[in-house]
Amino acid sequence: MPRAFWLGVGIGLLLVAAAGAVRIALDARDESLPVYMTVPDWPFVDQEGRTFWLGQTRGKVVVLAMFYTYCPDICALITARMHELQKQVAAEGLSDQVLFVSITLDPERDTPKVLRRYAQARKVDFTNWVFLTGDPSTIHQLTEVLGIYAERVYMINGTPVATPEASAGTATYIINHTDRIFLVDRQGRVRALPPGSRTELPNTMEKIRRLVREQPISSALLPMPCSLSIPF
């Protein structure tokens, strides 16, 4: 065969290979998880009383939830789902790449000591799980950034009252809030929203694995930092 023929065959094979590579790249892009929002780098306090900035989670995949320890129902289930995920993450050897973060909605009652006691009672492994409290205004602004509904309902003997003052100081309260877990990538971007207390382990673990496999992107391609100022 003439040399030109084989040269044409070679070029044709290269073009086919290039087209295949492009198709694979496009498929990977199409299957990537969406980006919902970016978790701000704000300061909190962990269960040991140490300052913990949310920016410290960058570089790891994060399983994040907002809850409170006096919650009478779904918060215990959210924590249980996260505990199941933590054990599965450990079983797959991913504990050094995945961090679990629980942030209270009730900083007035959930002190670091209360958070630590709550976690210990549930046999949480603190190696890759932190429980955070902090300034009420910071926590409130975080609920707004994450799109979490949270509302206090004051009660007297199980009956709602309009304000705590109406009870002459005898009211307690619950917090009605969104039932949700957030999966956050290594750049601090929320990429999936499992349904909190109803989170299914297999589906959520598949998303966690995908985020772990994602290659870090150049800082030039990262979204602009959140423009909100740190609330104090």
Decide if 33 contacts 210 (C-beta within 8 A).
Answer: yes
Nearest to 176 by CA among 192, 195, 160, 152: 152
Q: What is the pLDDT of residue 32?
A: 87
Q: Is residue 201 part of a domain?
A: yes
CA atoms of 57 and 182, how far apart (whole Å)? 13
Decide if 208 contacts 61 (C-beta within 8 A).
Answer: yes
Q: Is residue 144 part of a domain?
A: yes
DSSP notation for 40-63: ---EEEETTS-EEEGGGGTTSEEE
Q: Is residue 2 part of a domain?
A: no
184 three-state secondary structure: strand
Q: What is the pLDDT of residue 161?
A: 74
Q: Is residue 165 part of a domain?
A: no
Q: Is residue 46 part of a domain?
A: yes
In the chain, the percentage of residues whose pLDDT exceeds 70 is 75
One-letter amino acid at 64 equals L
Number of domains in the chain: 1
| pTM, rounded to two decimals | 0.79
CATH code (residue 81)? 3.40.30.10
CA atoms of 55 and 226, how far apart (whole Å)? 12
Give the confidence band of 11 by pLDDT, cuts at 50, 70, 90: low
pLDDT in tens, 49-102: 999 999 999 999 999 999 999 999 999 999 999 999 999 999 999 999 999 999
Q: Is residue 20 part of a domain?
A: no
Q: Is residue 29 part of a domain?
A: no
Host domain of residue 123: 37-150+178-212
pLDDT in tens, 90-141: 999 999 999 999 999 999 999 999 999 999 999 999 999 999 999 999 999 9
